[in-house]
Amino acid sequence: MRRELMRLGSRVGGAVLMLTPLLAGVPPIEPALAQEGGCFMITASGQRVNLTKLCGEPGSAVRAGVHTARIKRREGGTPVIDVTFNGLRTFEMLLDTGASGTLITQAMANELRIPVVARGQFGMADGRVVVLPIGRVSSIAIDGAEARNVQVVIAPDTATGLLGQNFFGQYDIKIKRDVVEFYRR
C-alpha cells in the first residue's frame, strides 16, 4: 500500500508524495523523487490526463511582457498557432510574417458573425490583385497578447487564416522550434 501511494505521489508531484504517506498514517521512509516530467494527473482508474494547457509548456517560465504560442504544426515551414477572436472562439492560423494584415476564412467570418464593412484590392504573394471583403473583429489574442478593433480581410477560398502585421506589429517575435514568443516593444 505504501509503495502504491508513493508511486502515485511521485507521478503527481513530490509534495504530494510526502503528504500522502503521512495522511495514510505511514511514516515516510524514502525521499520523493519526480519520475516523469510534464503536467498531468492520474485518475482513480489509472488513466493519465494531460494538463499541459493549464500548466503551460514543460520548462517554460511565465515572464512579464512575453506571450507564448505553441506551434501546432508547420505548413510549408510557416508556423500554425491557435489564435482567439473576440474572446470567444479559437482558430488555427498561419503566422505570416510577410503579411501586412490578417486574413480569415469565410467559415471563420460566418462563425464569428463578422459583417462585411467594405471591399478592398489586395496584392497576393503570387502577384495577383484580388478584391476581397473586409470585416472588423473586436479582438485578436494569443496567450495574453491582444489587439483590439482589428480589420480583417475575408477570403472565401482559403483553408487556413493568416495572422499578419496588424496583430503582431507591436511585438518583437522569436520563432523557436516548438513555440513562438511575442515580446511587447
Q: Which of 98, 92, 107 is nearest to 142 (CA)?
A: 92
One digit per residue, the tens of pLDDT, for the chain of length 185 reads 444 433 333 333 333 333 333 334 444 444 434 444 556 677 888 777 777 666 655 444 456 679 999 999 999 999 999 999 999 899 999 999 888 899 999 999 999 999 999 999 988 778 889 899 999 999 999 988 999 999 999 998 777 999 999 998 889 999 999 999 999 88
Residue ranges per domain, the chain?
2-55, 66-184
pLDDT of 157:
77
Q: What are phi and psi of 128, to 5 degrees?
A: -70, 150
Asked whether 35 and 17 are in contact (CB, 8 A), the reply is no
Cell numbers given for 119: 471591399
Q: Which of 6, 59, 10, 51 is nearest to 34 (CA)?
A: 10
pLDDT of 22:
37
pTM (global) more than 0.85: no
Asked whether 125 and 98 are in contact (CB, 8 A), the reply is yes
Question: Looking at the domain covering 66-184, what would its CATH class be?
Answer: mainly beta
Q: Which of 32, 90, 35, 37 is nearest to 60 (CA)?
A: 37
pLDDT of 64:
67
Q: What distance in Å separates the CA atoms of residue 8 and residue 14, rounded to the nearest whole number?
A: 10
